[in-house]
Amino acid sequence: MSGTDGPAGPGGGAPEEAGPRWHVEVDRGVCIGSGMCVATAPGGFELDAARQSHPVRTECAASDDVLAAAEGCPVEAISVTDARTGEAVFPPEE
Protein backbone atom coordinates (compact mmCIF):
# COMPACT_ATOMS: atom_id res chain seq x y z
CA MET A 1 0.00 0.00 0.00
CA SER A 2 1.47 3.37 -0.97
CA GLY A 3 1.21 6.54 1.11
CA THR A 4 -1.66 7.71 -1.08
CA ASP A 5 -3.78 4.60 -0.52
CA GLY A 6 -4.49 5.18 3.18
CA PRO A 7 -6.95 7.49 4.89
CA ALA A 8 -6.56 11.18 4.12
CA GLY A 9 -7.59 12.39 7.55
CA PRO A 10 -5.08 13.68 10.09
CA GLY A 11 -3.75 11.03 12.43
CA GLY A 12 -4.94 8.24 10.14
CA GLY A 13 -8.60 9.00 10.80
CA ALA A 14 -11.45 9.10 8.34
CA PRO A 15 -10.83 10.63 4.92
CA GLU A 16 -11.31 14.40 4.75
CA GLU A 17 -14.41 13.93 2.55
CA ALA A 18 -16.26 11.76 5.09
CA GLY A 19 -19.05 13.37 7.09
CA PRO A 20 -20.05 16.98 7.59
CA ARG A 21 -17.30 19.55 8.08
CA TRP A 22 -17.65 22.81 10.00
CA HIS A 23 -15.82 26.13 9.86
CA VAL A 24 -15.42 27.57 13.37
CA GLU A 25 -14.61 31.20 14.21
CA VAL A 26 -14.31 33.17 17.43
CA ASP A 27 -14.96 36.91 17.28
CA ARG A 28 -12.01 38.12 19.35
CA GLY A 29 -13.61 41.54 19.72
CA VAL A 30 -16.55 39.92 21.51
CA CYS A 31 -14.77 37.10 23.41
CA ILE A 32 -14.43 37.79 27.15
CA GLY A 33 -12.18 34.79 27.85
CA SER A 34 -14.61 32.98 30.15
CA GLY A 35 -13.16 29.61 29.13
CA MET A 36 -16.59 28.01 28.78
CA CYS A 37 -15.72 26.83 25.27
CA VAL A 38 -12.49 25.19 26.47
CA ALA A 39 -14.34 23.45 29.31
CA THR A 40 -17.10 22.26 26.96
CA ALA A 41 -14.92 21.27 24.00
CA PRO A 42 -11.31 20.98 25.25
CA GLY A 43 -10.10 19.55 21.95
CA GLY A 44 -11.84 22.27 19.97
CA PHE A 45 -10.80 25.51 21.66
CA GLU A 46 -7.82 27.02 23.47
CA LEU A 47 -7.22 30.25 25.37
CA ASP A 48 -4.13 32.23 24.40
CA ALA A 49 -1.91 34.25 26.77
CA ALA A 50 -4.37 37.17 26.57
CA ARG A 51 -7.21 34.78 27.59
CA GLN A 52 -8.79 35.07 24.15
CA SER A 53 -10.37 31.93 22.76
CA HIS A 54 -9.54 30.50 19.38
CA PRO A 55 -10.45 27.24 17.68
CA VAL A 56 -7.74 24.58 17.67
CA ARG A 57 -8.64 24.09 13.98
CA THR A 58 -10.75 26.48 11.95
CA GLU A 59 -12.19 23.52 10.06
CA CYS A 60 -13.23 20.36 11.86
CA ALA A 61 -15.59 17.43 11.69
CA ALA A 62 -19.09 18.24 12.93
CA SER A 63 -19.06 17.78 16.70
CA ASP A 64 -21.67 17.93 19.45
CA ASP A 65 -19.00 19.39 21.77
CA VAL A 66 -18.14 22.25 19.39
CA LEU A 67 -21.83 23.03 18.90
CA ALA A 68 -22.42 22.94 22.68
CA ALA A 69 -19.48 25.32 23.16
CA ALA A 70 -20.91 27.76 20.61
CA GLU A 71 -24.38 27.55 22.17
CA GLY A 72 -22.95 27.97 25.68
CA CYS A 73 -20.71 30.95 24.97
CA PRO A 74 -21.98 33.68 27.32
CA VAL A 75 -21.39 36.42 24.73
CA GLU A 76 -22.12 34.41 21.55
CA ALA A 77 -18.60 34.99 20.21
CA ILE A 78 -18.44 31.61 18.43
CA SER A 79 -19.88 31.06 14.98
CA VAL A 80 -20.11 27.70 13.24
CA THR A 81 -20.87 27.28 9.54
CA ASP A 82 -21.03 24.32 7.21
CA ALA A 83 -17.57 24.25 5.59
CA ARG A 84 -18.95 23.05 2.27
CA THR A 85 -22.06 25.22 1.87
CA GLY A 86 -21.36 28.21 4.13
CA GLU A 87 -24.78 27.71 5.76
CA ALA A 88 -24.97 28.87 9.37
CA VAL A 89 -25.04 26.09 11.96
CA PHE A 90 -24.80 28.47 14.94
CA PRO A 91 -26.05 31.02 15.47
CA PRO A 92 -28.91 30.00 13.20
CA GLU A 93 -29.86 32.38 10.43
CA GLU A 94 -33.07 34.23 11.15
Q: What is the pTM of this model?
A: 0.79
Q: What is the residue type of 27?
A: D
Q: How many beta carbons lie within 10 A of that of residue 25, not counting itself?
A: 14
Instruction: Specify the higher pLDDT residue, 66 or 8.
Output: 66
Q: What is the pLDDT of residue 93?
A: 83
Q: What is the pLDDT of residue 80?
A: 98
The model's pLDDT over 43-67, given as tens digits with 9 standing for 90+, comes to 999 999 999 999 999 999 999 999 9
Q: Which domains does the chain have, with CATH numbers?
A: 20-90 (3.30.70.20)
Query: Is residue 6 over pLDDT 60?
Result: no
- The reported pLDDT for the residue numbered 31 is 98
Q: Decide if 29 contacts 76 (C-beta within 8 A).
A: no
Q: What is the pLDDT of residue 81?
A: 98
